[in-house]
């Protein structure tokens, strides 16, 4: 599940295509990468079960679903002991509007991506977290817009990238 599978050019092309369109038909995919459907299907399955393809998911428009504000938040804890870290992670996990959370180094311990219907909701949410016992410092960075959102560049591939 997390070994290092050897990826040939065809695999890389498959990954590139699936990153652009995760619902592409196996036939069409096979055509684009230059093989027939059966081996193509096998490769896709292997790529999924080996974990190279983590998931194929729909990306939704937050605004159209009522989340008007998005914010990045840097959080520094008082203590970096394992128990403190895990308690904080549990609190984050319990809050559905904290979409993503990364453990980081540098001048903070966590980076969060957070959505809310409006600024008041967001404020309440963040104040609540600022009040957790182990939280020393919170800095937030409201998102004004997306400048770039590109797929992972596929290593040796001649894959057409998907800029901006």
Partner DNA sequence: TGTGAAAGAAAGTCCAT
Partner DNA sequence: ATGGACTTTCTTTCACA
Binding residues for a copy of itself (CB under 8 A): 2, 4-5, 7, 15, 18-23, 50-62, 64-67, 72, 74, 89, 92-93, 96-108, 110-111, 115, 139-155, 161, 163-164
Give, in degrees to the nearest 5, the angle at Cα 59 between 49 and 153.
Answer: 60
Question: Which residue lies nearer to a copy of itself by CB, 38 or 153?
Answer: 153
- Distance (Å) of CA 63 to CA 60, 68, 115, 142: 9, 5, 10, 14
Instruction: Report the partner that residue 38 touches, choosing among DNA, a copy of itself, none (CB closer than 5 to 8 A by kind).
Output: DNA
| Smallest separation, CB 68 to a copy of itself (Å) | 12
Instruction: Report the partner that residue 39 touches, choosing among DNA, a copy of itself, none (CB closer than 5 to 8 A by kind).
Output: DNA
Distance between CA 91 and CA 124 in Å, rounded?
15
Note whether 41 binds DNA by CB under 7 A.
yes
Note whether 159 binds DNA by CB under 7 A.
no
- Closest to 161 (Cα-Cα) out of 20, 46, 37: 20
User: In this structure, are residues 23 and 71 in contact, taking their beta carbons and an 8 Å threshold?
Assistant: no
Note whether 20 binds DNA by CB under 7 A.
no
Cβ neighbours of 50 (radius 10 Å): 15
């Amino acid at each position: 599940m997390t070994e290092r599978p050897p990826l040939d050019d065809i695999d890389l092309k498959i990954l590139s295509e699936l990153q652009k369109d995760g619902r592409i038909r196996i036939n069409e995919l096979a055509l684009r990468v230059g093989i027939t459907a059966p081996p193509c299907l096998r490769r896709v399955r292997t790529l999924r079960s080996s974990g190279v393809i983590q998931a194929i998911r729909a990306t939704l428009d937050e605004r159209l679903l009522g989340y008007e504000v998005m914010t990045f938040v840097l959080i520094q804890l008082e203590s970096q002991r394992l128990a403190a870290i895990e308690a904080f992670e549990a609190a984050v996990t319990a809050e559905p509007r904290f979409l993503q959370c990364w453990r980081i180094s540098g001048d903070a311990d966590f980076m969060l991506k957070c959505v809310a219907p409006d600024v008041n909701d967001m404020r309440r949410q963040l104040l609540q977290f600022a009040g957790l016992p182990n939280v020393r410092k919170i800095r937030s960075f409201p998102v004004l817009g997306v400048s770039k959102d590109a797929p992972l560049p596929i290593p040796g591939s001649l894959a057409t990238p998907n800029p901006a």
